[in-house]
Amino acid sequence: MDNTVTLVGNVTRDPELRFTATGQATATLGLAVNRVWTDRQSGERKEAVSFFDVVCWREMAENAAESLTKGSRIVVTGRLEQRSWDNQQGEKQYKIEVIADEIGPSLRWATATVTRNERRPAGEGGGPSGQSGGNGPSGGSYGNRPAQVPAPAGRGQSAPPQYDEEPF
């Protein structure tokens, strides 16, 4: 069964970049998706907004944190993933997130300038060109990054997507 979603919407908060204990970059951001339609009965224009949390990993996480800001209109393709945790009262809490495979600017109402990042040699981090085969980087460097902080509760449990082809 396929679990692929594509969403187009506006970023609701600047991406928050963090690093797991193993040095893997992860970023989360909010996405608002509007749906507008005309009510057939009344002829009145209606609107509904859905909010999603988007999670991205590795180089995409760093690129998203550097490139996106609140209000940016983006296209996200990924998969839905549910995670759960116990709150302070011991009650089970659930959340569905979009684990991003691709994020790009929406060019319907704006223009964008794309700057291609330099590829890393194999063994220097994960991602399309430097896939280490594991769940984290293999001794690679993410540049000037903040001190490592633990991943938010429930994150980092599953491996990020594996890539089979070059991005360009």
Give the pLDDT confidence of 150-164 residue by residue, as tens digits.
444 444 444 444 444
Question: Of residues 117 and 105, which shows the higher confidence score?
Answer: 105
Flag whether 88 is in a domain.
Answer: yes
66: enclosing H helix or E strand: helix 58-67
Flag whether 120 is in a domain.
Answer: yes
Please give the share of the chain, as a percent, with pLDDT higher than 70: 70
Can you tell me whether residue 34 is helix, strand or coil? strand
Flag whether 164 is in a domain.
Answer: no
Flag whether 140 is in a domain.
Answer: yes
Q: What is the CATH number of the domain that holds 34?
A: 2.40.50.140
pLDDT of residue 140: 36
Flag whether 168 is in a domain.
Answer: no
Question: Of residues 100 and 166, which shows the higher confidence score?
Answer: 100
Flag whether 163 is in a domain.
Answer: no
106, 119, 99: which is closest to 167 by C-alpha?
Answer: 119
Residue 57 near residue 50 (C-beta atoms within 8 A): no
Give the pLDDT confidence of 129-140 residue by residue, as tens digits.
333 333 333 333
pLDDT of residue 2: 82
Give the pLDDT confidence of 40-96 residue by residue, as tens digits.
999 999 999 999 999 999 999 999 999 999 999 999 999 999 999 999 999 999 999
64 phi/psi in degrees, rounded to 5 = -65, -45
Flag whether 167 is in a domain.
Answer: no
Domain tally for the chain? 1
**In which region does residue 132 sit, left (phi positive, over 0), alpha (psi from -120 to 50) or beta (all else)?**
alpha
Look up the domain containing 31 and give its range.
1-158
pLDDT of residue 158: 43
Q: Is the pLDDT of residue 165 over 60?
A: no
